[in-house]
Amino acid sequence: MMMTGHMGYYILIGAIALVSWLVSNQLKKKFAKYSKVQLRNGMSGAEIATKMLADHGIRDVEVISSPGRLTDHYNPTNKTVNLSEAVYNQRNAAAAAVAAHEVGHAVQHAIAYQYLTMRSKLVPVVQVTSSMSQWVVFGGVALMASDALGAAGQYVAIAGLVMMAFATLFSIVTLPVEYDASNRALAWLKNKNIVSQEEYKGSEDALKWAARTYLVAAIGAIASLLYWALQVFGGRD
């Protein structure tokens, strides 16, 4: 009975995984396309990141090259904008978009943007709970089916749901952080005439697809949490 009960969960996860794959596939295609749109000003991703930091009066953040592809991120601990080798060195609309987006996070950090602060506080909690939450819920639900351990099982399952809720909250808080960083990046690229109109369209489209990957992840996390909450609190036969 438990296997059929969880069939819906596997269908849900499968559907989300499929949408996630389609979005990330589209993102790769967009980045490949806009990597061919060379910047008329000839600036590399590293130069764009450095200029955007300077324009925002941020002097304590370093721009460094990080090995691999799609490894771009801002590290608030050591205040570094880490750009993948391609983004660091290349001079195209995709590199400009990514470099400016990561500096957007550095700007958020400098002004103590509330959602970034909240997200940073959730990081240590989620690192501990996210990998085990599903197993704790799963185990709790399994125990709930037993007459002797049903009540204890519900407490275990609720503990797992709380862990899962932190991961879901993290996914939701990530959305404004990512969208805001992209908006800051695009506003700066436009206002400072760093990119032409055609280059801007490419940068905007690339960042739009990047943001959609976070949106799919958040929807997946919410759907997962709701599914397990229904298993724990819903009418069980």
pTM score of the predicted model: 0.89
Q: What single letter denotes the amino acid at residue 74?
A: Y
Q: Which residues of the chain have pLDDT under 50?
A: 1-4, 237
62 is catalytic: no
Catalytic residue among 47, 102, 199, 204: 102
For position 60, what pLDDT does the model report? 97
For position 2, what pLDDT does the model report? 46
For position 9, what pLDDT does the model report? 78
For position 12, what pLDDT does the model report? 86
Among 12, 46, 45, which residue's Cα sits nearest to residue 31? 45
For position 235, what pLDDT does the model report? 53
Number of domains the chain is built from: 1
- Write out the residue range of the structural domain in which residue 147 sits: 2-233
For position 5, what pLDDT does the model report? 56
Plot region of 135 (φ>0 → left; ψ -120 to 50 → alpha; else → beta): alpha
Residue 58's contacts (CB-CB under 8 Å, 6 or more residues apart) are: 106, 107, 110
